[in-house]
Amino acid sequence: MRAAAQLLALCWALGCGSPPPPAYASAREQAALSVRRGDHLLAAQHYEQAARSTSKQRDADEARYLAADSYARAAAPERASPLLRELAGRHGEQQARAAFELADLQLQADEQAGQAELARAIRSHPDSGLARSALAKHLRYLREHGGSDAVLAYLERELQALGASELAEALLYGWARELDETGQNQRARDAYLACAARYPYPTGAYWDDSLYRAAQKELQLGSPQAALEHLARLLIEQESASLNGSYQRPRYAQGQLLVAEIYRDRLSDPARARRELRKLWQKHPKSQLVDDALFQEALLAHSANDAEGTCAPLRILTSQLPESRYAPCAHLLCDALPASTGRDCRDYIKRAAQLH
């Protein structure tokens, strides 16, 4: 709330809009002086005086919002709440912000009442920039006090009411995640796919995560080919993004690694798995997964008695990623590489890779 109040004060000081009446300007100056002195109670009183000194509703609402902020900072919530409730009940620029601030203020005194206020603010202002963080806070409360059943019931209800709002994507993704957490794999998969379809790339905030998690659900449901189809939808956009220089989604590298793991572990195709593992280095050279992929590629080649295929990824690893935990182990797989000086291959890596 403090940052918003400071922004409003700065806008006024810089002359946003038409000049205010002299009495309004004087009261605002006195309020600002009181704030600098740390007397927030007096500042709130000056802001209220400013609100009474103007006939312009926007300026009056701004002053009342700043008064509420000052009362809250002066530990006087009983005086801040009526101002916020008034602003929340009136159409204006401060309506949504006041509604969420009122809920936060109520939460400090009574969690149950504050959460009810928060739910009302979410329902009334789903397009506000504050709605998503408020939703996450309210879902945590519901989960703690009513479990997943309470969360799912709330999300389904709000999806019906707010399905056309800007918050609908977060509601749908939250519903999929809750189904996932409760082990409802098929319903979770369907919800993830619905989220990716309704909110596609490039605007969907949860698009890449939804496709990745849908692929994971397919694996749990015994459908590796379906998982590969979802990952292909994900990675084809990554190729387009690379060509156009646009934003790289976090799940691209993870999706590529999962493709390789599916060919290796589910479809028994180590040759294809090796090619897919190499793509981590080719397409995501800065990913933290690259050294894992190169080492796994070397292990697959080693299992196939392919000496050159074993050494090739390890040469990249030791030359380009010398600080990797796998670099000291490279010589144990490839005789052409020298042993690392000053660092030994960790025992847990030796055991996992069956190195001696």
For tokens 């209800």, the residue is: 157
> 6 pLDDT exceeds 90?
no
pTM of the full structure: 0.84
Q: Which two tokens stand for residue 34?
A: 């009181």
Given a contact cutoff of 8 angstroms between Cβ atoms, the answer to whether 270 and 304 are in contact is yes
Whether 251 has a pLDDT exceeding 70, the answer reads yes
Instruction: Check if the beta carbon of residue 78 is closer than 8 Å to that of residue 45.
Output: no
Tokens (6 digits) for 278 = 């190499």
The pLDDT assigned to 340 comes to: 84
Non-local CB neighbours of 87 within 8 Å, separated by 6+ positions: 61, 64, 65, 68, 94, 95, 98
- Nearest one of 243, 240, 282 to 260, comparing CA atoms: 282
Contact by Cβ (8 Å): 325, 337 = no
- Indicate the range of 81-85, 93-97, 248-252, 346-350 predicted with least confidence: 248-252
Dihedral of the CA atoms 346, 350, 351, 353 (nearest 10)? 130
The predicted model gives 287-297 an average pLDDT of: 97
- Whether 33 has a pLDDT exceeding 80, the answer reads yes
The span from the CA of 52 to the CA of 49, in Å, is 5
Q: Would you say 20 and 56 are in contact if contact means Cβ atoms under 8 Å apart?
A: yes
The pLDDT tens digits for 158-202 are 999 999 999 999 999 999 999 999 999 999 999 999 999 999 999
The 3-class SS string of 89-122 reads CCCCCCHHHHHHHHHHHHHHHCHHHHHHHHHHHH
Looking at residue 342, its pLDDT comes to 86
Give mean pLDDT, residues 293-318.
Answer: 97
